[in-house]
Amino acid sequence: MEYLPIFLRLQNAPCLVVGGGAVAARKVGLLRKAGARVTVVALELDRQLAEWADDSQIAYRKKAFEPKDMDGQQLAIAATDRQEVNALVSQTARGLGIPVNVADQPDLCSFIFPAVIDRSPVIAAVSSGGASPILARTLRDRIEQLLPAGYGRLADLARRYRRPVKQALPDALSRNRFWQTVLQGPIAELVLAGREADAAEHLERLLTEAAPKAPQGEVYLVGAGPGDPDLLTLRALRLMQQADVVVYDRLVSPAVMEKVRTDAERIYAGKQRSDHTLPQEAINGLLVRLAREGKRVLRLKGGDPFIFGRGGEEIETLMEQGIPFQVVPGITAASGCAAYAGIPLTHRDYSQSCVFVTGHRQDGSVSLDWPRLAVPNQTVVIYMGLVGLDIICRNLIAHGCPGDRPAALVEQGTTPRQRVLTGTLENLPRLVAETPVQAPTLVIIGDVVKLREKLDWFHPSA
C-alpha cells in the first residue's frame, strides 16, 4: 500500500491553491465542498475561479507564488503549467510539514486526490496511487451505480440514533447485531425509498423490543478454496463479512484473509506435519466456547471443509453441543489447482476416473491401497503428498504402474506464486528434491498430465 487512505476535516481550514486554470478550479471546488477557506495565488483566473473570487467565496492574490504565501496554511495544491513553480510549492510545503498535492506529478505530492463517491455523510474514495487517474474514475463510476443516493440519509439516521442505541444495548455484540438488522433490512429499504419518518418509527420500535440479552452464537464452516480469493463463493464472502471471530487454518491464503471483516478477532489454528498449533479436540472445543459467548464464528478452512478438512469432525461436536452452524462448500485443491495447472482431472482419451487420497495419515505414516491406485486410465490426486512423495512413487511402481507414468506437483496453486513441476513416477521425486518447494502442494498422477504443456493457460506474474 503506497498511500494510506485518510479523510481530512477541512471545515474553516485555510488552504492554498497555486494556479488559476481549469485544473486549479476543480481542486478548489473539492476544497470548497469540504468547507475549506481557500486562497488562490495566480496571475490570472479562469471564469469559474473569477466568479468565486468576485462573490468572495475564495480569496484571490493576483501575483506569482512566493514561499511566504504558505504562511498559516494547512494544505497546499499546485496546479500550474510551470514545473519550477510546482516544484517550489512542493518544496516549501514539505519544509513546513504541510500536506501538498501537485496536479499530475505524484513525485511532488505528499498526498493525492482520489476519485470520490459522495453520499454525504458517507464518502467513498478510489485511488490508483497516481498510476492511472482514468482507471480510478472508471472504478468510481461503477461504484456510483451500485450505491443509491439514499445511503447518505441512512447514515444520518444511524447518527441520530447512535447514542440511544448505545445506552439501550451496552453489550457490543448485541449492538452490532442490532445495527446489522437496521442497515441491511426493511428499515434501510424504507430510508432508500424516501420514507425516513417510517424508518425512524420502525427503528424505535425495534430498539424497544431489543431488550439486553445474550446474543445467539453460530458457527460458519466455510471452504476458503485453494488460494485465489476470486474463487470464493458469494455466500462465503457474505459470512466472512459478518463474522465476529475467525478461526483459520494454515492453508488459507493471505489474500483470502484480507476479505474477512477488518475488526473480526483472528485465531490461528494451523496444522503442519507433527506441528499442530491447536489439536483438533481443542479446535472443536474452541468453536463451542466462542459460539456460547454469543459470537458468530467463522471456521475458515483451505479448499473444501469436507475433503480432508476434518469438517465432519467439527460439526459432529457442534451438533452434540447444540450449536447452530452452517456449512459453505469451497473449491477443493484438486479441482482448483489442476484447473490452474492446465491438467484436466478426467479426459475421455486418458482418464475415466479420478481418486483423491491423502499422502499421510494422522500418525504420519504413508499407507494407501496401492493396487487400487495403480490401475490404468485413472487420475490420482494426492493431498499432503510432498513429504512422502518418494515412498508414494516407489510403491505405485512396485504395484504395477509404469515408471514413465506422467506425474506433476503443483506448488501454491491458483496463487501468483504457483509453480508446476512435471515428470514421471521415476523422476518426479528427484526433480522435487532438487527444487526448493513451499507448501501447500498437490500431486497429480496419470496420463492427463501429458496435456499440461498444451493446456497451460495460467501464467502468474509474480
Task: Quote the pLDDT of residue 181.
Answer: 86
The reply to whether 200 and 256 lie within a common domain is no
Q: Is residue 244 part of a domain?
A: yes
How big, in percent rounded to 5, are the helix, strand and coil portions of the chain? 40, 20, 40
Q: Where are the alpha helices (DSSP H) in 386-451?
A: 389-398, 428-433
Cis peptide before 436 (omega within 30 of 0): no
Residues with a known catalytic role: 249, 271
Where among 331, 366, 400 does a domain terminate?
331
Task: Quote the pLDDT of residue 277.
Answer: 67
302 marked as part of a ligand binding site? yes
The reply to whether 305 and 380 lie within a common domain is no
The strand pair at 59-62 and 115-119 is best described as unpaired
The reply to whether 349 and 398 lie within a common domain is yes
25 marked as part of a ligand binding site? no
Task: Quote the pLDDT of residue 460.
Answer: 81
303 marked as part of a ligand binding site? yes
Task: State CA 378 to chain mean position distance.
Answer: 37
Query: What is the residue range of 398's domain?
Result: 334-455
- What's the Cα-to-Cα distance from 207 to each of 164, 170, 175, 204, 412, rounded to whole Å? 9, 12, 10, 5, 48
- CATH no. for residue 41? 3.40.50.720
Specify whether the CB–CB gap between 158 and 197 falls below 8 A.
no
Looking at the structure of the chain, the number of domains it has is 4
Q: Is residue 94 part of a domain?
A: yes
The reply to whether 225 and 326 lie within a common domain is yes
The reply to whether 34 and 108 lie within a common domain is yes
Q: Is residue 128 part of a domain?
A: no
The reply to whether 64 and 174 lie within a common domain is no
Question: What is the maximum alpha-carbon separation in the chain?
Answer: 93
413 marked as part of a ligand binding site? yes
Q: Is residue 196 part of a domain?
A: yes
The reply to whether 294 and 260 lie within a common domain is yes
Residue that is written with C-alpha cell 503442519 in the block: 272
307 marked as part of a ligand binding site? yes
Q: Is residue 144 part of a domain?
A: no
118 marked as part of a ligand binding site? no
Task: Quote the pLDDT of residue 214.
Answer: 62
Where among 84, 113, 142 does a domain terminate?
113
359 marked as part of a ligand binding site? no
Query: Residue 126's CB: how many other CB atoms inside 10 A?
Result: 18
304 marked as part of a ligand binding site? yes
- CATH no. for residue 315? 3.40.1010.10
Task: Quote the pLDDT of residue 263.
Answer: 87
Q: Is residue 364 part of a domain?
A: yes
Helix (H) or strand (E) holding 200: helix 196-209
Q: What pTM, to 2 d.p., does this model score?
A: 0.70
The reply to whether 301 and 188 lie within a common domain is no
Task: Quote the pLDDT of residue 461.
Answer: 66
Specify whether the CB–CB gap between 385 and 392 falls below 8 A.
yes
Task: Quote the pLDDT of residue 218.
Answer: 92
396 marked as part of a ligand binding site? no
Where among 98, 113, 128 does a domain terminate?
113
pLDDT in tens, the chain (462 residues): 788 889 999 999 999 999 999 999 999 999 999 999 999 999 999 999 999 999 999 999 999 999 999 999 999 999 999 999 999 999 999 999 999 999 989 899 999 998 888 888 889 999 988 788 889 889 998 888 888 888 899 999 999 999 999 998 888 888 888 898 898 888 988 998 889 999 999 999 988 886 656 667 899 999 999 999 999 999 999 899 889 999 999 999 999 999 999 889 999 997 655 555 688 899 999 999 999 998 999 999 999 999 998 899 999 999 999 999 999 999 999 999 999 999 999 999 999 999 999 986 555 567 889 999 999 999 999 998 898 899 999 999 999 999 999 999 999 999 999 999 999 999 999 999 999 998 899 999 999 999 999 999 998 865
- CA nearest 103: which of 86, 126, 125, 85? 86
Residue partners of 411: CB distance under 8 A and separation at least 6: 417, 418, 419, 420, 421, 437, 438, 439, 440, 441
